[in-house]
Amino acid sequence: MRENHIKASFVDQQIYKNVLPKISEIVSKHSKPYIFCISTLTEAYSEAVRLSYKLKKLYPDCIIILGGIHPTVVPEEVLAEIEACDYVFIGEGELQIVNIYNKLKSGNDIQDIPGIAYRKGSEVVINFADEVVNNINFLPEFPYDIFIPFSQYNFSHIISSRGCPYNCTFCCVNFVGKRRYRYKNTENTVKELEFLAKDLKQKHIAFFDDNLLANKKRIIELCEFIGKSKILKDVTYSFQARVRDMNEDVLKLMFNTGFKTIFLGIETVSPEILKNIGKTEMPDEISQAIFKLKEIGFRVMANFIFCFPAESREIRMKCVDFSIKHDLDLVKFNNVVPYPGTVLYEQNKDKIKVKKYYSNFNSQEVLVRPFYKKPKFPLIPQNTSEYQIYNDILFSYFKYYFRYRQIKKIFTQKGWGDLILSTGDSFFIKIKKSPALIFLGIDIFIKFVLMFLSVFKRDGVKIKELLMVFREFFK
């Protein structure tokens, strides 16, 4: 938009508690018809619905377009549910956003634009989306300048590629990316890293690429360029990757270049479930990779997903034991979310519980939902109760983190918890967030107390398991 000299404004609902006054201030600087483009994930869909109706009420002649991964996957559903929504845009928006703007502002129809879905009478018409942006180097540089004035943002991360060549059944990345891995060239990536390090004073930068190691040649070249940069001399990096893409020589090169932390999506240690969800690595292969990473010197963080079909409590506890055995530095235990558009969703349509507007599609349902509200997991394994899953996830956190060596890491390892919870760099932002953090701490404490009390129920945690955790505190 800026490259084509089109005036555009943005409002971030994670920055403004109430966005409507800010929107009112912004639209006074724009000409009619007002065009509101709302980008939404599945987890934020209910808020996108609410906002759409409020905007339509305030500005009856406005045009509302929903985009992002959720509307891309279910455009018919979005147009059927949200009367206030005029259009849905499907796919990556960069190739058509200017065309859409020019046509709407000049009063022309946009129904011939690729990737647009719209109502025609009682029917929904969906135009096939454009191909993905094959060369992302042609896209403009990320507009850091419009975000820098906000102290709430954390600039310690970068996305240097799009897509993933794999096809995990629970992942919706490939619905848009079509399993095409596209990356910025080395010069552009290093230029952005140097900007973050020099201008924005970032000492640690996290690569949020879906799979950084998907192209070995690219990583070797990237390390060589970073190594030659004086600006990046003291910067460290973290990244997420898949075990199958690891190469010992490349990992050693990365570690010597400043890559010190790796995040693995292990998901489960059940060979059967790994195979069913499209993960080609087996537990022994994952185990060997972790030992090698530790030997090189990496901090290893990991994610496990509970609630896959055919999963048992025994499998969940094996995941926790695996984490302890391999002394992982940070672990997350999430519940699975069968996002629309995924193979997992299609395979389990008749078993999935969807609350209104997908309000229960949160992978950290146990931690984010207040203790006085019953969690509503979208998918529950056969022969397992919702109550048991809830307590198993809490117990997994308790068993893994209630150990002397882990507690020591939490308090002594710099930046330990930034991957899970960042309170911002500004002292005043930290103070402002402190009441919410206090309530969060109280909420989690009460949840653990209730977990202890679950020993008196059939689906609760077993007393001998709790006693074992206390006994092994110093191991």
Determine the pLDDT at residue 8: 92
> Which of 222, 242, 131, 220 minimizes the C-alpha distance to 180?
131
Contact 91, 132 (CB under 8 A): yes
Determine the pLDDT at residue 174: 72
Determine the pLDDT at residue 378: 96
Domain boundaries, the chain: 19-126, 136-471
Q: How far apart are CA 242 and CA 211, in angstroms?
A: 7
Q: Omega into 33 within 30° of 0, i.e. cis?
A: yes
Please name the helix (run of DSSP H) or strand (run of DSSP E) that holds residue 26, with its range, or none: helix 19-27
> What is each CA distance from 244 to 180, 288, 290, 344, 379, in whole angstroms?
17, 11, 12, 22, 28
Q: How many CB atoms lie within 10 A of CB 277?
A: 22
Determine the pLDDT at residue 431: 72
Domain made up of 136-471: CATH architecture: Alpha-Beta Horseshoe (3.80)
| Strand extents, DSSP E, 171-214 | 182-183, 204-207
State the angle between helix axes of 186-198 and 216-228 in degrees (0 to 180), rounded to the nearest 10: 40
Tokens standing for residue 298: 């990496």
Tokens standing for residue 162: 């799009």
Owner of token pair 């079909």: 309
Determine the pLDDT at residue 421: 56
Which CATH number describes the domain made up of 19-126?
Answer: 3.40.50.280
Determine the pLDDT at residue 149: 92
Going by C-beta distance under 8 Å and a sequence separation of 6 or more, which residues neighbour residue 336? 170, 305, 306, 307, 308, 344, 363, 378, 379
Going by C-beta distance under 8 Å and a sequence separation of 6 or more, which residues neighbour residue 360? 353, 354, 375, 376, 377, 378
Contact 389, 335 (CB under 8 A): yes
State the angle between helix axes of 386-401 and 463-471 in degrees (0 to 180), rounded to the nearest 10: 10
- Buried b or exposed e, range 92-125, using 16+ CB within 10 angstroms: bbebbbeebbebbeeeeebeebebbbbeeeeebe
Query: Angle CA(469)–CA(474)–CA(475) in degrees, nearest 5?
Result: 80
Q: How far apart are CA 303 and CA 309, in angstroms?
A: 18
Task: Give mean pLDDT in consecutive 10-residue pieces for the chain, a chain of 475 residues.
Answer: 93 90 94 95 94 97 95 94 95 91 93 93 89 88 92 90 89 77 94 97 94 93 97 95 94 97 96 94 96 96 95 96 95 95 93 94 91 92 93 96 90 67 60 81 94 93 94 89
Q: How many CB atoms lie within 10 A of CB 420?
A: 11
Q: How far apart are CA 447 and CA 372, in angstroms?
A: 9
**What phi, psi does 332 have (nearest 5°)?**
-120, 135
What single-letter DSSP state applies at residue 33? S
> What is each CA distance from 366 to 54, 353, 396, 411, in whole angstroms?
30, 16, 12, 24
